[in-house]
Amino acid sequence: MPQLPTHRPRRNRKSQIIRDMVQETRLTTHDFIFPLFLIEGHSQQVEIHSMPGIFRFSADKIIDEVGRCVELGIHSFAPFPSINDGLKDRLARESANPDGLYLKTIADIKRQFPDVVLMTDVAMDPYSSDGHDGVVDAESGEILNDATLEVLGQMALAQARAGSDIIGPSDMMDGRVAWIRDVLDSNAFSHVSIMSYTAKYASAFYGPFRDALDSAPKKGDKKSYQMNPANRREALRELALDEAEGADMVMIKPALSYLDVIREVRDHTHLPVTAYNVSGEYAMVKAAAQNGWLDGEKTMMEVLTSIKRAGADAILTYFAKEAAEVLRRG
């Protein structure tokens, strides 16, 4: 007679109340940082076709959107600008223009909602005529690390002046956390935080985002600065450097295909770990749900829970509003 089990894990799953009691990971609306896309103009609200439910807003409309989010309990935002082609150049000069779309809108949001947290994006690509996150050498086409630091420092400083709470360098140049920290500190912005995109991979999942901002590289790819998706140990090297350079928070990007990296980084640092549930990850779930192939809402909650379970303290996600609504319903 075969042995019947003594240990029965199913006992801890026998009712909803017991399942809730032993649940290890719980999402809350405090976990979410919501990306916002900004465009020029007035009364503009344009849906991004590869990201159903996500819009590019003009400055006036973004205020209403932030208001709706605050109402839902979302208080942290990561704005990104879509810049007109005419304003782009090799050195991304528009990125430090205090009267430009991005910095003016940042200041405006902070004026209307002083308590919200804005994590501003430091990278050249939205303003670069080359569509890269670094300065491109006109002859060799090489991405120049140290020339880029100069630009990133000025961009970060201009964002701090506009009222940014957290500077988010998303470019993957070496040494930019230390460089930006130094620029901020020597200009009386020691209270402004840095959330480093520590391990940002050269991923195909950024496609819809590049559509939204029209920021795809004009030539080549981003593999000489973004990480190889095959590498895990390298993320720990990037982590050690960002810690030593003074990052306040670290980020892994994308999230879903990199849950092991999130866990690895979580286990190697005392800093808060965030993960970016990127545009392509959002688009996949939306597309399948629209086809009736997946239950969109359940898949969304499973995806977000898995990112938190892997070790993320906060999640940048286009699902923030929808998930906040689900959490509010209980």
Residues that bind ligand PBG (CB under 6 A): 123, 125, 133, 170-171, 206, 209-210, 222, 278-279
Residue 308 contacts which entry, Mg ion, ligand PBG, none (Cβ below 5-8 A, type-dependent): none
CB of 125 to ligand PBG, least distance (A): 5
- Choosing from 200, 222, 286, 308, the catalytic residue is 200
- Choosing from 61, 88, 222, 253, the catalytic residue is 253
| Helix (H) or strand (E) segment spanning residue 273 | strand 273-277
Distance CA 43, CA 61 (A): 6
Q: How many CA atoms lie within 13 A of 245 on its CB side?
A: 26
Contact at 8 Å (CB) between 169 and 124? no
Residue 206 contacts which entry, Mg ion, ligand PBG, none (Cβ below 5-8 A, type-dependent): ligand PBG
CB of 303 to Mg ion, least distance (A): 27
**Is 189 or 209 the residue whose CB approaches ligand PBG more closely?**
209
Looking at the DSSP assignment, which residues form a beta bridge with residue 252?
199, 275
Residue 238 contacts which entry, Mg ion, ligand PBG, none (Cβ below 5-8 A, type-dependent): Mg ion
Residue with tokens 């029209």: 214
Distance CA 87, CA 305 (A): 40
Contact at 8 Å (CB) between 200 and 226? yes
**Is 250 or 320 the residue whose CB approaches Mg ion more closely?**
250
Residue 157, classed as helix, strand or coil, is helix
**Is 36 or 239 the residue whose CB approaches ligand PBG more closely?**
36
Residue 189, classed as helix, strand or coil, is coil
Measured from the Cβ of residue 224, the count of other Cβ atoms closer than 10 Å reads 14
**Is 145 or 187 the residue whose CB approaches ligand PBG more closely?**
145
Peptide bond into 208 cis (omega under 30): no
Binding span for Mg ion by CB under 5 A among 136-144, 163-171, 233-241, 285-293: 233-241
CB of 41 to ligand PBG, least distance (A): 22
200 is catalytic: yes
The answer for residues whose C-beta is within 8 angstroms of residue 60's C-beta and 6 or more apart is: 42, 43
CB of 72 to Mg ion, least distance (A): 34
Residue 125 contacts which entry, Mg ion, ligand PBG, none (Cβ below 5-8 A, type-dependent): ligand PBG
Does position 238 bind Mg ion by CB under 5 A? Answer: yes
Beta strand residue intervals within 18-116, DSSP E: 32-39, 45-48, 51-58, 76-81
Binding span for Mg ion by CB under 5 A among 82-90, 215-223, 231-239, 281-289: 231-239
Does position 171 bind Mg ion by CB under 5 A? Answer: no
* Residues that are catalytic: 200, 253
Binding site for Mg ion (CB under 5 A): 238
